[in-house]
Structure 1
Amino acid sequence: MKNIKFFLVAFIAASSLFFYSCESDDNNQDLTAEIDAPTDVDIIFSITQDNSGLVTISPSGKSVSRFEVFYGDGSSESAILALGENAQRNYSEGTFPVRVVATSLNGQTAEVVKNLTVSFREPENLEVTINRSASSNFGVSVTATADFETSFEVTFGEDPDADPITFLEGEVVNYDYSSTGSYDITVTALSGGAATTEVTEVVIIEDPVVLPLDFESSTLDYGLIPFEANGSIVDNPDISAGNRSNKVVSLEKVGGQTFGGIVVPLSGPIDFSGAQSFRMKTWSPMPIGTVVTFKLENADGTISSPDYTATTTVQNEWESLFFDTTGLDTTQPFSRFVVFFDLGNAPTGDVNYFDDIELAASPAVVLPLNFEDDRRQFDIGTNNGAFSIVSNPFPTTANNSSRVGQFDRPSTGPNNFALVAIVVDQAPTFDANTTFTLKVYSPRAGLPVWLKVERVGNNSLFQEVTNVTTTVANAWETLTFENFSGNTTEDLRNVVIFFDPLGATSAAETIYIDELTQTN
C-alpha cells in the first residue's frame, strides 16, 4: 500500500509559499480562486484472479490534486494517493463500501462510494442481454447479470487479438462492427478468483435495404439492376434545397429500345400496414411534363403491380413526385421497384436522377407552397382565426390559381396574434440573401404580414421578417420578404404567417394567401 501523505503536505506547504509570493507581486490576487471542485470522481477495482482477495483500487477524476481512499473493511486505515496512483488491499469475501475523497488544489472536495464485491465462488445464473443499436445496423450493446460475480468481460468475435472489455453489472458496453456477418459474442463472469462462468451468443449483423430508401450508405449493397439503360449510384449533381443528399441514382436509356429502366431491390417485402402510396424525388433535364413510371414486383419479378405514373413539373431541378397506388394489392410480397423515365419513347441521351423513395399517404408539402393539388394532406394550425382551402374567389392575371388559402380573422381586439402555421416536409435553406414571396389578397392596404419559419415543436428557433405590409386593398399582390433574422438556419419546417398580429381589429376580415415561394 502506498502512502504519500507526507509528500503531499510538503508539496502543499511549498505551493502555499509560492502562491503567497505571487500574491505579493500581483496585488494579493488569489491564484486558486478559479480552480474547479473535483468532478467525475470514480473508482475502478481490479481483483487478482488467484483467490487471494488482493484488490487494486484505482481512483480517477478531474480537477484533483490528491485522493484519500477508505477501504470500507471495518478498519480506520486509509491511503493518500496522487493522481494516477493506486492502492492495494487484501479482502476477504464480501461486499465493501469503498469511499474515495478527492481534493483539489484549493481544498474543495468531492467523494464517491462504490461497493466492492469479493467472491471466490463460481458465478451463477449468468444472463446476457444483447440489444441492437437504434442508430446503426452495425451497432450492438451488451449488459449482463449474475450471482456471485465481481465483474464481467466481453469479446465481440470480430478481432481475435482484441483484449476483452471489462465491465460491471449495470454498465452497458457498446460496440460497432465494421462489416456484416455472423459473430460470437462471449461474456465471462469473473468471481474474484479462478472460477468463471461463460456464455456465448451468436449475433448476425445485416445492413438491409428498406424503406424509406436513400442511397447514402457506403456499406449497403443496393444491388441495382439496369436494363436497356446505364444506371448507378453517383454524386448528386444538384445539391440544393430540393435534395441535400450526397448520393443519388442516375438513369440513362441507351440502345434502340424504348423501355430502358432500372430495378431497385429491397431486402424483404414492403410493409403496407401504414401508408400505401409512394413519393420519390426526381431530377430531369427533359421537358416539363415528362412521364416518370413506377411499378412494384416481387423478388423474382413473377408478380408485378400496374404501372403508376407522375409527370415532372420542373426542369433541371429536384422535385418530389407522388405515385398514387390506390387499388394496389398489398397482400402481394412486393420487394422491389422498377423506375422508368419517358417510357415508350426512344432514348434521347438525357441523364435523369432519382432519390428518396418512401411510403406516403399524399404528395409532399414543399415550397413553393400552393393549394392546387387536392391530394395533399396539410398539417395546419391557427391562432385567433380559421383557415380553409377554397376556390380562388378573385382570379386575375396577378393570381390565376384555382385554389387558395382563406384566413378568417375575427374581431378580437388588440394584440391578437392572428396566424396560420403550415408544416412543410422539406426545410428551406437560409443565408444572408434568402428571399421569399407570398401572394396576398387583403381587404385593406397597410395590413402588416409577418413571415416566420420555425423549428417544429420549438418556436424559439426561427428565422423571421416582420416589416412587410400590403399596399393595395381588394386585389392580389405579391409581397417580398427579405433580410431575415433569427437564431438558427437548420431544420425550420413550420411556416407561420401572421396577419396584423399587434393591431386592434374592430371588424372581422377575410384574407387570402397563395404561392409562398423561396426565390433566393
Structure 2
Amino acid sequence: MKKIVYILSMLALILIVSCTNENDLIDVSSVNAPSNISALTTVTQDNTGKVTFLPRGEGVTRYEIFYGDGTTQPSYVLPGGTVDHTYKEGVYDAKIVGTTIDGKRTEVIQKVVVAFRAPENLVVTIENDLTVSKKVTIKATADFALFYDVYFGEPGKPDPISVNNGESVSYTYQAAGVYKIRVVSKSAAIKTTEYSTDFTVTVVNKPSASAPTPPNRQAGDVISLYGSKYTNVAGTNFFPDWGQGGQGSSWAEFDLNGDKMLNYINLSYQGIALADGTTIDVSGMEYIHMDVWTADLEKIETSLISKTNGEKPVVKDLVANQWTSIDIPISAFTSQGLAVADIFQLKFVGTPWAKGSVFIDNIYFYKAPTQTIQMPIDFEANITYGWSGFGASDFGAIPASVVNNPDKTGANVSNKVVKIDKPSGAQVWAGASLNLDSKVDFTKGTKVKVTVWSPKVGAKILFKMEDSTSPKDGNGNPTIFVEVEGTTTVANSWQVLTFDLTSFGAFSTSNKYDRVILFPDFGVNGTGATYYFDDIKQSN
C-alpha cells in the first residue's frame, strides 16, 4: 500500500511538470503547507467497530492516517479516498497528516469514539443563517456517538449528509418554507438515536455587507443625491409619503455598522423629493447610478420626474441577496420625450407590488471625466486635487494643498506643487493622501519618482499607496498597501527621490492601488516645517 501511494504521488508530480513549458514551470518551494486538515469518521452499526476515514484538507497530495490504537504502520490515502480500520471499544487519538507535493506536512489529532452502545443525551441545534437566505446550520452532539446523519427534508434530495459528532454542517435550500429535518446520531452499536422537527427556513431580508464603494470623481462630473462618497444635494427628502403608508408600505434609514442606506419596505411606490424650489439639471450627465439590495423583489422601476415635463420610467432586474449596481443612461429617459433640465423628484416602484423590500445606496448622476487624477501627477491641470491631511497633534488634519511653486529652480521649474505643513507637535506619522480616479497601471513601471523640497537633510519621506476598497484594519486603514522610504540629501532645494515598490514584500502589480500618500519627515514629530512635492510619476 505504501509503495503504491508513493508511486502515484510521483506520477502526479511528473504529469504536472510535464504539462508545463519552460516559461510555466511550477515553483514547488512556494507551495503553502496543507490547511484545514480533518477526517470524516463513520462507523458501521453492527458492533464490529469498523471505522471509515475520509480525510479532508486543502493543498494536500497525500494523507497519512495514524490510528492511535497501537497499530504501528499508518495508512496512506490519496485525496478523495477512504480507508477502513477496525477498533476495539474505546476512545482513540487518531492523527491525520496532510502532505503537499513538496513534502510540507500539517497534522491534527482527532478523537475517535468507538462505543457499542447507542448514543445518549442527543442535543441538536438548528439555526437559520443571519446573512444568507435559506441557509440552515445544524450541530448535533451526543455521548458515545461518533457521527450523525442529517436528512434535510427537501423533495428530490433523500440522501443524508454525514457529519462528525459535535461538528456543524450547513445546507442551502432552494426555497424558503417548512421542512422536516431528521438527525440520526450513530455509534458503533446497532441501535441509533434520532431527533426530528419541522423547521421554518427563512429568507434574509437585509444586507450584511455594504454596497460597492463608488469611484473617485471630480466634483463637476457628478451630482449626488444619497451616499457617503460625494457631496449630496442639500435638503433632499428621502421619505416623502405619497400615500404608500395606506398600502402597507413603510420606510427607514438602515444603519449597517455605521454605513447608512435607504430602506423602502413593502415597496409599492416611493420617492425622493428635492427641497422646495430645488431642481437639478442632469442634461450634462450621462448616467444615473444606484446600488440596490433585495431578498424578494424581482425588478425595480426608476422614474425621473421633471417639474415641467412629467415623468418617465426605466425598469431593471434585481438579483436576490446581493447588491445590484444599476447604471441607467440618461438617454433612456430623454428618448421617451422627458426633459431632464429641471428634475425635482425620483420615484421607485417594486415588482411584485408592495410585496418586498429594497435597500438603496449611492444614488448619483455622473458623466465620463473630462480630466482625471492619475499617474503621472504634476498638479498643472485645472482640476481639484483633493489632498487630505492627517496626523495633527490632536489627531486632526494637517494643512495640505496645491500652491504656486515657491522655488522654481534646479530640478523643478513647474508652476504648481503640493505643499504639506507638519505643524509643531504633529504625529510622527502625519501626512496627506490623494485619491486617484483610476488604479495605477504598472505596465508603466514599478518604481515611483517624486520631486521633493525639504528644509533639512536626512528627512525620511515615506511614499505609500493603498487599495482604498480593501478590508480595513482595526484603525480603519486599508489592509492592501505598499510603502517605501526615501531620504533627502539636500536642504532648501528640489531633488528627485526614487521609491522601488518591488522592495516592499506585499507589493503586487495585480492589486488595485488607487490612493497616494506622502509622509514628510516620517518618524519625527512635527516641528513647524513645510515640505513641497511635485511630479509623482512611474519609471522602470
TM-score, normalised with respect to structure 1: 0.48
